[in-house]
Amino acid sequence: MQATSPGQGEVLGALLRLQFQFNIFYNRGSDDNLHGLAITFGRIVSNALTDPLAWLGGFLVGAFTYLVGPGPAFYALWIAVAMDLISRLMCESVNHGGFLKAVKEGHIRSDKALSGAKLKITAYFFMCVFAAQIEKFPYDYAYLASSVIYGIFFFVELESTCENFLEAGVEEFSWLKRFSRRKLEKIVEEEGINMKEGGGNEQGPI
């Protein structure tokens, strides 16, 4: 084994001392960080346990997630519902000289809009619960049934949105309306459901 010269020994000793000091500093910093994280986490848990609103919020979020299992289809459906409502407001505004004038003349009524929206949202939410819960059954058609529920409601909203824009004078939506109608009929026919021809989604004033 080759002997180490005095100069090399001093350098090696300095490097070992530097590494030892670095290890002490690093371990001390890790302990401090872990201690700080533990204190912060403990405060969050303590505040949550003593705050009834946090308990209620956690329960509602957990119940909502379990009931509907929100996923891409769930969000797509509710975006379509919102687009249908907005397009209806735009239609009434265009056909009656603007939004404020339509409201003043009673074509857009908040009480009727709210009551109709509440009923529709409640009914759709119930069906979303069915669509989420049916997937939990160990059957091959369970996922298909859930997809059919979401698909029907999505294309119903799409067709209704097209009708609103057609009523507002945007004729280009006639092709999209025909497409959505055909897709809707295809979905229900594949599941053995007979659908009446011309069953459009006619709406009165909001």
Distance CA 65, CA 71 (A): 10
Per-residue pLDDT averaged across 144-159, rounded? 89
Distance CA 110, CA 136 (A): 39
* Of 204, 161, 193, 202, the residue nearest 179 (C-alpha): 161
Structure tokens at 198: 């011309």
Distance CA 78, CA 125 (A): 10
Q: Which residue has the higher pLDDT, 192 or 197?
A: 192
To the nearest 10°, report the CA torsion of 86, 89, 94, 99.
-120
Helix (H, G, I), strand (E, B) or coil at 132: helix
Tokens 């055909």 belong to 182
Distance CA 29, CA 40 (A): 16
Task: Provide the whole-model pTM.
Answer: 0.62
Per-residue pLDDT averaged across 12-34, rounded? 54
Q: What is the pLDDT of residues 55-80, one digit of tens each?
A: 777 788 888 888 888 889 999 999 99
C-alpha angle 61-86-202 in degrees, rounded to nearest 5: 110
Is 191's pLDDT higher than 80?
A: no
Single-letter residue type at 37: L
At residue 126, the pLDDT reads 93
What is the chain's alpha carbon radius of gyration, rounded to the nearest angstrom?
31
- The answer to whether 183 and 189 are in contact (CB under 8 A) is no
Q: What is the pLDDT of residues 100-112, one digit of tens each?
A: 877 777 767 766 6
Q: What is the pLDDT of residues 86-99, one digit of tens each?
A: 988 888 888 878 87
* Of 66, 90, 65, the residue nearest 160 (C-alpha): 90
Q: What percent of the chain has pLDDT over 90?
A: 17
At residue 202, the pLDDT reads 47
